[in-house]
Amino acid sequence: MDSAPTRPIRVVALTPEGAALARRLCRDLPKAQCWVPPAQAAEGGGHTFNSLSQVFQEAFARGENLVCIMAAGIVVRSLAPYLKGKALDPGVVVVDEKGQFAVSLLSGHLGGANELARRVARLLGGTPVITTATEVQGLPALDLLAAQRGLTIEDLAAVRGIHMALLQGRPVRVVDPDGFLAEPLANYPGFFVSEPDLDTALAQEGFTVYVGYRERPWPPGWLILRPRNLVAGVGCHRGTPGQEILDFIKETFRQEGLSLLSLKVLATIEAKKAEPGLKDAARKLGVKLIWFTAAELKDISVPHPSRQVARHLGVVSVSEAAALKAGGRQLLVGKRKAANATLAVARVA
């Protein structure tokens, strides 16, 4: 699914006045398409529909945001069967036929409905109606900040506890060694307490946000945000099954206390780029497989060079060299050897 600001938008109307407003919006709203009943299409074109529920079902299936120019009750009843959750549902905005109010109805943060309501209100000269508690109180929405900073939320349910603590005026501890949230959170003095050391924070009670790739037994009240800042260099024998490579990666990350949600890419040498097992492991991990030529890897200094690899591939290292070449500034895991594969993990610069 596209990110909220770039998703296509269906502007849906029922009446002649609503259809006129929909066409007006679609002229000025990027990636917007007009959907109206057949009786309204003759006046200005656009997509037509006979079933409002079908229009909504298709929008949800395709991840398209909705601007509905009609009564909110109609929208709520029509959408109910298709709701899956705030992490998956697109944003829905309801607008009255006069364009006086643009109401963020569903998925205000992650779906982008709050921002879409503001955009629609600006275009129509109306008023955006935002009801999410954090925005009403002028507090940051951690789920939205995470999405904006490219962070993966490990447990979306934990966001609620952090937001409730902020609304109650309780300071929230933040462990963010690489400063992913430092800039936006600096705008809210008094609400967040920085703690640079993870182990120190784990010894204390209270609501905490951790931004990083480390794994720990997380206490209640912790929100874990994962940056994509680890690269895994992988070498393998010809024909090594993908599941074997995948199990090797998973077990290494488990042993080293690293989160697979922070894995950005798998990297290897060009000679291995077509290995089905590497492709399969990357696909199952949801990351890209990238490769480098022997010439690109041969001069990279590594802690565990191999004469055997040099004889076969012309480089002294595949896993460590590929991890470093892929942007790693620091090897977190030096070369690990399994029966048919090698692995190294580096932190991205």
pLDDT score, position 315: 83
* Dist CA 236 CA 277 (whole Å): 9
* Domain 4-131, CATH: 3.40.50.11220
With 0.75 as the threshold, say if the pTM is over it.
Answer: yes
Q: In the predicted model, is pLDDT for residue 225 greater than 80?
A: yes
Least confident of 8-22, 40-54, 311-325: 40-54
Q: What percent of the chain clears pLDDT 90, i.e. is strictly above it? A: 73
* Arithmetic mean of pLDDT, 49-67: 93
Q: How confident is the model at residue 306 (pLDDT cuts 50, 70, 90)?
A: confident
* Dist CA 2 CA 243 (whole Å): 29
- pLDDT, one tens digit per residue, over 234-274 is 999 999 999 999 999 999 999 999 999 999 999 999 999 99
pLDDT score, position 5: 64
Across the strands, what pairs with 214? 258
Measuring CA to CA, how many Å separate 106 from each of 49, 73, 93, 226, 265?
22, 13, 7, 25, 33
Domain boundaries, the chain: 4-131, 142-226, 230-348
Q: In the predicted model, is pLDDT for residue 2 greater than 70?
A: no
pLDDT score, position 310: 63
- For residues 311 and 35, the model is more confident at 35
Pairing label, strands 222-226, 208-211: parallel
pLDDT score, position 14: 93
pLDDT score, position 338: 95
- pLDDT, one tens digit per residue, over 188-197 is 888 999 999 9
Q: In the predicted model, is pLDDT for residue 45 greater than 70?
A: no
* Averaged pLDDT of the chain: 91
pLDDT score, position 131: 87
- For residues 1 and 104, the model is more confident at 104
Q: In the predicted model, is pLDDT for residue 34 greater than 90?
A: yes
Residue ranges of the alpha helices (H) in 29-156? 38-41, 52-62, 72-79, 113-124, 133-136, 142-148
pLDDT score, position 3: 55
Q: 3-class DSSP state for residue 285?
A: helix
Contacts of 164 (CB under 8 A, 6+ apart): none
Q: In the predicted model, is pLDDT for residue 11 greater than 90?
A: yes
Q: What percent of the chain clears pLDDT 70, i.e. is strictly above it? A: 97
Measuring CA to CA, how many Å separate 48 from each of 35, 77, 332?
5, 21, 56
- pLDDT, one tens digit per residue, over 67-93 is 999 999 999 999 999 998 887 889 999
* Arithmetic mean of pLDDT, 31-44: 82
* Domain 230-348, CATH: 3.30.420.180
Q: In the predicted model, is pLDDT for residue 275 greater than 60?
A: yes
Q: How confident is the model at residue 44 (pLDDT cuts 50, 70, 90)?
A: low
pLDDT score, position 267: 97
* Arithmetic mean of pLDDT, 37-61: 85
* Dist CA 141 CA 153 (whole Å): 13
